Amino acid sequence: MVRKKRHRRLIVFLLFFLLCFRPIQCRSATSSEDVDAMSDLSLSLSGLPSSWKPGSDPCSWDGVTCSAGRVTDINLVSRGVSGSLPPSLSSLSALTSLNLQHNRLSGPLPLLPNLSSLQSISLEDNAFDSIPDSFFAGLLGLQSITLDGLPLAPWNLTRDLASAAGLAEFSAANSSLYGPLPDFLGSLPSLSILRLSYNHLSGTLPPSFAGSGLQQLFLNSQQSPDKLSGRIDVIGAMPQLTVFWIQTNAFTGPIPDLSNLTSLESFNARDNALTGVVPASLTASLTLKNVSLSNNVLQGSFPQFASKSVAVDIDKGNQFCRPAPGPCDPRVTVLLDIAAGFGYPALLAKSWKGDQPCGANWLGVTCDAQGNAIVLNFANQHFGGEISPVFSNLTSLRQLILSSNDLSGSIPGSLTQLPQLQLLDVTNNSLSGKVPAFGTSVTLKLDGNPKLGDDSGSGGGSSPFSKSTPSSSALIAGLILAMAVAMAVVIACSVGFYYRRRKLEEKSKHILTDTQSYKIGLNGLNCNSESIAPISTDSLNQYSVEAQSMHISIQSLRTATGNFSKANILGSGGFGVVYKGNHNGTVIAVKRNGYDLMGNKGNEEFKAEIEVLRKVKHKNLVALVGFSNEDRERLLVYEYMAGGTLTERLFKWQDTGEPPLNWNQRLVIALDVARAIEYLHSFAQESYIHRDLKPSNILLDKDLRAKVSDFGLVKLAADNQKSMQTRLAGTFGYLAPEYATTGRVSTKVDVYAFGVILMELITGRKVLDETQDPEDIHLVAFFRRKFSQEKDKFLTEMMDQTLELDEEAKQSWAEVGDLAWHSTTREPHQRPDMSHAVNRLAPLVDQWRPTNYVDEDDDEPSMSLTERMERWQCKDTTFTTYTFDSTLK
């Protein structure tokens, strides 16, 4: 009896256990709000999988993914589903992915104002018929959206989309999109892919595209009568572009200089109205894979491309002087250079055909019997631009008539060298400046240019300003008095400048050697010297030659880099190109930030990078050697890192001819980066946040030791680790969620980016990999999903296949994976700080320390933290000298 009672009790206990601790209930019950919303969705759709039963738990439905009892992912791709989407879809506030492409869904798209966590929307190839004006309102976390091929009623892009700071891809080809391209598109910090082909867009390319991170831009085949039009100059300031498609539109003007587009692969601009010559920066590109320029009005010699593998479509419908490669007639070349000053007007492009300007009906050109151009008459053609100095190359020219146009600028002084010139007519333009002194045999017609002659009292015998007027005597007296005062001021300033220069020369005499050279230390100081005062942003352009100056002359850097030769390009970024240089045997890296392309944002980052690098010094931070800001150039000079970037060694090792990084090398790199960021956060004079930590900003030396670079976005951290609001910056994929959605930044945004880099080191995959299945494109989401749900298979599925790990290495690999997982948690307070990362990585490196590994922190274990800090700061930044000659300023 006792035994039976015990059996009964055991059975009752087991039944109670099974009832109370079923898997579904022990985790968490599905949100009732999500259950209701998913039930509405199932009732609104047809052709659903059989598991979609209203009232049942949606987390068990085919194509639905849940987390903590909330619906996070709906995937019904190519299921033949029909019906419409109910408004209650907006109740799924934890939804991150909505993939409904390639179905038969119809009706209007619903508003989704509560889905701030929604990151990916794929609705292409359905039958939705309208999109509400405020469709994008509230979608703050949106990263990717595709609306291709939807038969929508005419709609416009509204400014609500500008709130999606993390948006990386926007695709709405063939979706009845109307209106101009809104300016905010170029201001979206993460946008890299924009597909708007086969719509009804009109207007011009937004100026905000300059300096943007757009990599692929598809605007081809607009269906509106006006199409997209205007000039395409802005693309010259889009250094990230790899694909540019604008075919079948109405763009005009010349193709701009594309020297900054160092990764351009596809350029398709056929079937437009482009004029001018094909620039050498396009034909010389070695990255170009295909180019299509047929059916424009391009001129000059037939282009010949440097790359033998590029596919070229250019031989139809243009105005090249010859049908095959070869130089044009010299007269044609001169006339085209003249047309360049006017911006290559379409009128001239259509008229100037062939290679004989005197044998055909070239608009405005009259020749003598010997084939020399003697009259150029471009009166009343509405030409803009300036008068080109190249006119002076037409030595037989007798009459130059440019009246009634929109010309600006000054009259080139070189025109006075034309030996046979008899008439210069520039009446009714907007010319200004001094009138050159022409000979008495030249008749000048200058009326209708109110600002012409502002810079001088007389411009020649026929200038209207040489005629007497009733007030001429008073005017002359006033001019003489003004000139006398100005001369006195100039003399006083010259004397003051002379004595000031003498004083500065005496002050800086001790830094000159016998060969009149300057020695500049890394970071401009050594560990025993006093800190240099920070740069004033108001006086960045006013540095003088003083002891420990970091300013380097532009001429020295041009010489060192072969005048910024393409052969010396190491890489490029959002605000410049990095060149390898050699000065007196010293190898340097020169980051060139074009002034005209930078804008205010780029200038701020240039100043910020100098400011930070003068204050921080650590063996794992790239050292700034100097800078130059002359001739509208912005140049930063760094120590040269022979190992290239982590991007190259991790993802492009086959292109470099180097072996892939082994696990031990990756561990050391991770530890080096962790120590660099730990220093910025905790041990520098002030706490800094890098804000743009990524593999391309991690440089390697010849021994594959890592240093963090690119401090243009560094920001001072708030006190007590509090977050603060700031302008969004950085690179998509490495942006922490709270930063991308709210703009709030703390040191934990660097921790998040560091966690992403650890994932890349572990897997060998890029943060965004479009070769993967749609749900696996984003590395962080993929990694965290696999790590959380399939830990048994995690090692096999996630490990970089180039790695060969023994059991001990597999343990450290898993340890780094765990650190990466914790570093990328959604909530900032749940992420570790960088000191924790260093403490976890350092012992892993110690396990296998090779004979050539030198870690200054372990040389003397008894050293205090302060002593270690001083050693960190001084080991690689003691006064190493780079010698530049006396051209330095």
DSSP string for 473-500: HHHHHHHHHHHHHHHHHHHHHHHHHHHH
CA-to-CA distance for 151 and 175, rounded, in angstroms?
6
For residue 827, what is the DSSP state? S
Residue identified by tokens 């943060």 is 767
Compute the distance between CA of residue 83 and CA of residue 91 in angstroms, rounded to an integer.
19
Question: What is the DSSP secondary-structure string of 620-664?
Answer: TBPPEEEEE--TTEEEEEEE--TTEEHHHHHH-HHHHTPPPP-HH
Q: Write phi, then psi, for 348 (nearest 5 degrees).
A: -70, -40
On whether the CB atoms of residues 125 and 152 are closer than 8 A, the answer is no
CB 606 within 8 A of CB 712: yes
Nearest to 79 by CA among 105, 107, 58: 105
265: Cβ–Cβ under 8 A, 6 or more apart, which residues?
242, 243, 287, 288, 289, 290
The answer to whether the annotation marks 766 as part of a ligand binding site is: no
Cβ 180 vs Cβ 720: under 8 Å = no
Q: Say how far apart CA 264 and CA 617 lie, in whole Å.
A: 36
Q: Exposed, middle or buried by CB within 10 Å (0-12, 13-18, 19+), for 480?
A: exposed
Residue 692 among the catalytic residues? yes
How many Å apart are CA 473 and CA 480, to the nearest integer? 11
- CA-CA distance, 473 to 410, in Å (whole number)? 27
| Helix 663-678 × helix 807-823 angle, to 10° | 30
User: What is the rounded distance in angstroms from the CA atom of residue 279 to the CA atom of residue 397?
Assistant: 28
Number of neighbouring beta carbons within 10 Å of residue 450: 10
Which listed residue (125, 271, 425, 692) is catalytic? 692
Place of tokens 């020219």: 397
Report CA torsion sign: 716, 721, 727, 729: positive
Known catalytic residues? 692
Which residues sit in the known binding site for ATP?
A: 591
Which residues sit in the known binding site?
A: 591
